[in-house]
Amino acid sequence: MNKIIACLIVFFCCANLFSQNELVQINKDSRIDTLLKLKKEIKKNTFNLKIQIFSGERDKALELIENHDETSYINTSIELVYETPNYKVWIGDFYSQLEADKKLLMIKKKYPEAFIFRPKPKIENNNANPEEIN
């Protein structure tokens, strides 16, 4: 028993002598910050998947939105979009194909014509000058 206690005392004394006392310095490449900014910019410009449940006349689209049961599709947004010549009703904003597929299976029970798609990016021209257009 005395040998065990003596070994433990020696162990703890020696462990303290060989422990690290200084701070660790990490040298990172400056390009890492540039890569992180680039990744954030790419993610911001990535367009998520949506599910289209209707395409047609405005009155029918508005009626569909009014009768939309939000409790069936929790945490799912619904929006009305006009793309010539039809109004379209889109549901959701999904980041992965798997997530969209799961929701589509539920939605197809009520809207069999529903499908998944990735919307085209909207082109914003904030610097347009009317004099340049003419």
Task: Summarize pLDDT for 80-101 with one digit per residue, the tens.
Answer: 999 889 999 999 888 888 989 9
pLDDT tens digits for 30-52? 888 888 888 887 776 666 899 99
Give the rounded distance of the alpha carbon of 113 from its chain centre: 25
Strands 78-83 and 115-117, bridge-based pairing: unpaired
| Residue 129 or 63, more confident | 63
User: Whole-angstrom Cα distance, residue 37 to residue 34?
Assistant: 5
| pLDDT exceeds 60 at position 14 | yes
Confidence class of residue 5 from pLDDT cuts 50, 70 and 90?
confident
| Residue 47 or 65, more confident | 65
Among 112, 63, 104, smallest CA distance to 87 is for 63
pTM exceeds 0.75, yes or no:
no
Q: What is the pLDDT of residue 120?
A: 78
| 76, amino acid identity | T
